[in-house]
Structure formats: C-alpha cells, structure tokens
Amino acid sequence: YVVIMAGAVFVALAFLGGWQAYLVTVGNTTIDYYDHSDLVKAAKARGVPAPKWAFDQGRVKNWQEAFDEHGKYWYVAWCLPRLRAHQGSGVYYADLGPKAL
C-alpha cells in the first residue's frame, strides 16, 4: 500500500514539476497558457498562423529571467538559497520593455 501511494505521489509531483518547468521555459504562467490556447484556436478557425508566445525569449533566457540568475554559473545557482533580493517586478522585462497586461 505504501509503495502504491508513494508511486502515485511521485507521478503527480513529477507531472506538476514538469508542467511548471515547461511554463518557465516558454516564459508563461498558467493563465497565459490558456489565453494563448484560445488565440491559437481562433487563428486556426480563421486560417492564419498561430501567434507566438508574448514573453518567450528562448528557453535559457526565460529560465534566467524567472529565477533572476544571470551569472557564469546560473545553471547551478538558480536552485540555491539567495542572500540578495530578486531584481525586477515580474512585470517589466529589460529586454522586452513594458508590455500591456
């Protein structure tokens, strides 16, 4: 019984962790994902190409922006505790400028 429960919890956490990692790599939130899904459906119905993600800057840049790690060893530092506060507001992106929400 314990093995089955542990396996079920592992599968659920792996799915949710994978989903969050996907959202970070495409530069979105869950709400943005569903809004984009509606835009893709509408574009398909009109026969035009689907719009790109609004805040996608590439997998690496998205990960660095989400976790505010830009140094030489960002791929290790993102998961370590921080001594300094995160930079930025989460709304303004230095590379993209302010975008209407």
The CA-CA-CA angle for residues 16, 19, 25, to 5°, reads 140
Report pTM: 0.72
> Can you point out the beta strands (E) in the chain?
92-93, 97-98
**pLDDT tens-place string over residues 47-93:** 998 888 878 888 888 888 887 777 788 777 777 777 777 676 666 66
Domain of 76, in residue numbers: 2-98
How far, in Å, are 10, 12, 15, 26, 72 from residue 2 at the CA level? 12, 15, 20, 36, 43
Mean pLDDT of 94-99: 61
**pLDDT tens-place string over residues 13-57:** 999 999 999 998 988 888 888 888 888 899 999 999 888 887 888
What is the total count of domains within the chain? Answer: 1
How sure is the predictor about 6, in pLDDT bands with cuts at 50, 70 and 90?
Answer: very high
Decide: 47 and 88 in contact? Cβ < 8 Å: no
**DSSP character at residue 85:** P
